[in-house]
Amino acid sequence: MRVYLSVDMEGLAGVSHPAQTYFGRDGIDRIDYDRSRDLMAGETNAAIAGALAAGASEVVVNDSHWQMRNLRAEDLDAGARLIIGDKPYSMTEGIGPFEAAAFIGYHAGAGHPTGVIGHTYSSVAIMEVRVDGVPHNEAGLNALRLAEHGVPVVLVAGDDALAGEIEQLLPWAERIVVKRALGGNVAESLSPERAQTAIREGMGRALGRMSEMQLYKRRGPIRCEVDLRQPVMADYASVLPAVERVGPRTVAFEAGDGESLFRWFVCVLRLANVPAA
């Protein structure tokens, strides 16, 4: 069994503020960011250990946060492989013939009232993403693409706000709550040790009930609407031939399957970010 891990940072135990998830060009916040890198490695290794103990033959980790070069290879369990760098397919880079996927350190979607550091792919550009009228977070969008490659999402770890969204989108997936969301930048968190134990044990449970897992597929044509933060972002995004501007800050497109939807979404996201760069 091959297992794919996509690992973010905002949903980790002990992380509650954006300043813990990046550092500026002048090095400000580097100490907090480096501590979060350690937490990221800890939860990743817990998921790797759980997968290997449950019979996985290989675990591939995709560093899915920010500039996507956060995890230090020397910090990871020797039983895993690491995808690191600036990736065209972002949080789903390297997906292929896997039997299961898990999302670690994930967070609630843009606009959630209490989700810790909640956003959907870009806190600068995106206010909400809807698929067939249903709000989708990063986990939901990523799961749509993975499904087209035959890979079910079996576990998602983050705060309780994320868990509530996952219950609606991917109800079969194991939900690991490592902190309670008290607001956008405040959380009541488990200790790293307890969070890692919960993830390790959760991976074992998830891989032990593979017969219950499902692919997150939607029947085409699938309609995606993206609410952008500024009208100028819609100006740029609607240059794409398949993308229609349906409001002052909203663009929409249709796709035949989850793979196409994800590709179009990434194009919209990157064009929308041009005037914000």
Domain ranges in the chain?
2-123+138-212, 222-272
pLDDT at 185 over 80: yes
Is this structure's pTM higher than 0.85? yes
| Average pLDDT rounded to a whole number, residues 172-180 | 98
- pLDDT above 80 (res 9): yes
pLDDT over 70 (residue 277): no
The closest alpha carbon to 8, from 142, 146, 206, 135, belongs to 142
Q: Give the contacts of 146 (CB within 8 A, at least 6 positions apart).
A: 4, 92, 95, 101, 152, 153, 215, 216, 258
pLDDT in tens, 34-85: 999 999 999 999 999 999 999 999 999 999 999 999 999 999 999 999 999 9
Q: Which CATH architecture has domain 2-123+138-212?
A: 3-Layer(aba) Sandwich (3.40)
Q: Quick one: pLDDT band at residue 29, thresholds 50, 70, 90?
A: confident
What the block records as the tokens of 17 is: 């503020």
Q: What is the pLDDT of residues 206-227, one digit of tens each?
A: 999 999 999 999 998 999 999 9
Q: What percent of the chain has pLDDT over 70?
A: 98
Q: For the domain with range 222-272, which CATH number is right: 3.90.1150.10, 3.40.50.300, 3.30.1360.130, 1.10.1370.40?
A: 3.30.1360.130
Strands 2-7 and 100-104: parallel
